[in-house]
Amino acid sequence: MMNISLIAFAGSRRLAKGEALAVALAVKDAQDAGEEAPILIFDSTTGRPVDLDLRGTPDDIRARLEEDDPPDAPPKQRGPGRPKLGVVAREVTLLPRHWEWLSSQPGGASVMLRKLVDEARRSSEAQDRIREAREATYRFMVATAGNETDFEEASRALFAGEAARFAAFVELWPEDIREQVMELAEGAF
């Protein structure tokens, strides 16, 4: 977890932004100083909430964050498959005609399915980035700005891809929240 970038808010005020340890220590300091506003921590890329264990000393916090990211940890075993290659076996449900076609392809069903997935990933890469940016922005907005003026309209503009309307709706939101929302939304339009 040490390698991810986080952002913490105390109410609508940005408390800290940066690498996980720095943000964790800033939040710990704020809590110890008696911060009264609720403190929320997010992954600054995905907009997902992050829960940090801030008990103990700064060294305790550092140790826990490093435990979450052991540098040379072997890959986790996930059951059947080829773990050294990163292959994971899962169930796929297809109609008989799909299985017939797949089994007639060079390399068999697994090879063809991997090729089809890779092709689909390449062809939808730009659309996927836009969708992910919109989802990250929306996740953050719901948690921090759900009660702000024009939240619903901003959400509609975000998912409709209307950048100018979106920016106009978030203009009156608290500055730190607005800045983070606009940063997350950069790839959404």
**Which DSSP letter does residue 173 get?**
S
- List C-alpha distances in Å: 116 to 85, 112, 120, 187: 19, 6, 6, 26
Where does the pLDDT of residue 1 fall: very low under 50, low under 70, confident under 90, or very high at 90 and above?
confident
> Is 111 found in the same domain as 130?
no
Whether 76 is in a domain gets the answer no
**Phi, psi for residue 146 in degrees, rounded to 5:** -60, -25
The runs of H, that is alpha helices, within the chain are 20-32, 58-68, 96-103, 108-123, 125-145, 151-160, 163-170, 175-184
pLDDT tens for each residue of 72-96? 555 555 555 566 677 788 888 999 9
> Is 56 found in the same domain as 94?
no
Domain range for 169: 126-188
d(CA 116, CA 92): 14
Number of domains in the chain: 3
Nearest to 154 by CA among 61, 59, 164: 164
> Is 141 found in the same domain as 96?
no
Q: Is 53 exposed, middle or buried (0-12, 13-18, 19+ CB in 10 A)?
A: exposed
> Is 133 found in the same domain as 108?
no
> Is 17 found in the same domain as 51?
yes
Sign of the torsion angle spanned by Cα atoms 127, 131, 136, 138: positive
Whether 61 is in a domain gets the answer yes
Whether 21 is in a domain gets the answer yes
> Is 64 found in the same domain as 9?
yes
Whether 74 is in a domain gets the answer no
Average pLDDT, the chain: 91
> Is 181 found in the same domain as 136?
yes
Whether 11 is in a domain gets the answer yes
Whether 73 is in a domain gets the answer no
- List C-alpha distances in Å: 71 to 2, 61, 65, 68: 10, 17, 12, 9
d(CA 117, CA 164): 35
Whether 156 is in a domain gets the answer yes
State the pLDDT at residue 89.
81
> Is 40 found in the same domain as 51?
yes
> Is 92 found in the same domain as 63?
no
Do 169 and 157 form a contact (C-beta atoms < 8 A)? yes
> Is 131 found in the same domain as 93?
no
> Is 118 found in the same domain as 134?
no
CA-based R_g, the chain, Å: 22
> Is 58 found in the same domain as 103?
no
pLDDT tens for each residue of 121-177? 999 999 999 999 999 999 999 999 999 999 999 999 999 999 999 999 999 999 999
pTM for the complete prediction?
A: 0.75
